[in-house]
A and B are shown apart, each in its own frame.
Chain A
């Protein structure tokens, strides 16, 4: 039905909280290998948009297809294994140490043996230079360390797409760089990525496509060059004047 390369196809997605219409009909397609940056003013619905994709937030109406399968209540739990997510507030599991945070899902979902999961977790930790923290609890880690571990936690299930929900908004300026370079590395390795961010320079550099959301609708889309140098709509022009 769709282009065979599309990983996620969204049709007329709406999300209302009572009378508050956060998403007012979004149509969107994410292609394999793309890095899409979702920009927009605060309160525009960009985080809600991202969180609706894996049903962390339940859409009010609309259709979401993952690899040409319509997402429903019945299949979403399984599909989530293929959609990694990184949160603004990291959301490492507080009562588990770093290793257990990484291995919990693959082991409990019977996707890996404990030994295999442990091995993969430790090699990913080594890769981000945090091997020493394997047995530490989240409470003893810095924000930047937590977020980098959250990113490799999402990688543990080898997802087909990674969703980043303002991954650097809760970080101090020093650790933002570490987290961004890890995201860049993941993108360069070919991962399909959607990222909601306020880091304009990062979006410009990393994204293959920019999506701009305002008041619950996508009002402009394009390559970073088009978007940042030749914005089509007055709203985007106004936004860019303020943030750049």
Chain B
């Protein structure tokens, strides 16, 4: 225990180690942030195509989206990362971070699409029928009736997906990128502290802290949405 404490002090008093950790943390956050943005945008588009009405010019886009989500969800993330690094973007000098962002963004999009699709489909069909009977357009029905109700179902699962992306980015160390996970391994290696337990413990705390923060924010949003759902004049 004493040894653990000494190592902890050593870690936090050696500027190079702190520097490495922060560098790793920043890279982890950069990849996660942009991957999540891509995932949300692309995932929303896929979900909208997937839930759109079956008209004849939607059949091909629907089929493409189906194949996309099936392939992405049916293969390991680590393999997708390798394919992006060693096949698709095996271009000398191409920035690694962009490859990683795209790999995680494309992966996350498939999961986000599923979350949004099931959120939209969980809205009672009677809500859409009421809108139709009132003469509203499909767009107005989605905008004013379906989407606001779907969001309530979507937010919690979307929070989950964001957390998953942040944790999964740890596998970029497999292609030699210096993220938080890699930084912990590097600091603990023979030519540095020669002990893994403290740097890995600290890295775990970093992950835990950011994920706790996101969980907290998502819970607040959820609570806010539920409140507006149930409020009455009496309340």
Neighbour of A56 across the interface among B129, B149, B233, CB < 8 A: B129
Could you tell me the distance between the alpha carbons of A136 and B137 in the complex, rounded to whole angstroms? 26
Residues of B near A137 (CB, < 8 A) are 229-232
Task: Place the interface of chain B in its size category.
Answer: 20 to 34
Could you tell me the distance between the alpha carbons of A42 and B114 in the complex, rounded to whole angstroms? 37
Interface readout for A37-69 with B: 1 if CB under 8 Å, 0 if not? 000000000000000001110000000000000
B134 and A104 form a contact (CB under 8 A): yes
Known: A56-B129, A93-B127. A135 touches B136 (CB 8 A): no
A95 and B145 form a contact (CB under 8 A): yes
B176: CB under 8 A from chain A?
no
A128: CB under 8 A from chain B?
no
A84 and B133 form a contact (CB under 8 A): yes
Task: Place the interface of chain A in its size category.
Answer: 20 to 34
Name the interface residues of A145-179: CB closer than 8 Å to any CB of B.
153-154, 157
Q: How far is the CB of A150 from chain B (nearest CB, A)?
A: 8
Known: A91-B127, A93-B145, A108-B144. A132 touches B233 (CB 8 A): yes
Known: A93-B145, A94-B149. A134 touches B133 (CB 8 A): no
B149 and A105 form a contact (CB under 8 A): no
Residues of B near A85 (CB, < 8 A) are 133
Q: How far is the CB of A102 from chain B (nearest CB, A)?
A: 10
A212: CB under 8 A from chain B?
no
Name the interface residues of A79-118: CB closer than 8 Å to any CB of B.
80-81, 83-85, 87, 89, 91-96, 104-105, 108-109
Q: Which of A84, A94, A135 has the most CB of B within 10 A?
A: A94
B134 and A80 form a contact (CB under 8 A): yes
Interface readout for B126-168 with A: 1 if CB under 8 Å, 0 if not? 1101111111110010001100110000000000000000000
A91 and B129 form a contact (CB under 8 A): yes
Known: A91-B130, A94-B127, A95-B145. A105 touches B135 (CB 8 A): yes
Neighbour of B130 across the interface among A93, A109, A133, A139, CB < 8 A: A93
B231 and A109 form a contact (CB under 8 A): no
Q: How far is the CB of A126 from chain B (nearest CB, A)?
A: 15
Residues of A near B136 (CB, < 8 A) are 77, 104-105, 108-109
Q: List 8 A-B contacts (CB under 8 A).
A: A54-B132, A80-B135, A84-B133, A104-B144, A108-B140, A109-B136, A134-B233, A154-B134
- 16 additional contacts (CB under 8 A) given A87-B133, A135-B233: A54-B132, A56-B129, A77-B137, A80-B133, A80-B135, A85-B133, A87-B126, A87-B130, A91-B126, A94-B127, A94-B149, A95-B229, A104-B144, A109-B134, A133-B233, A137-B229
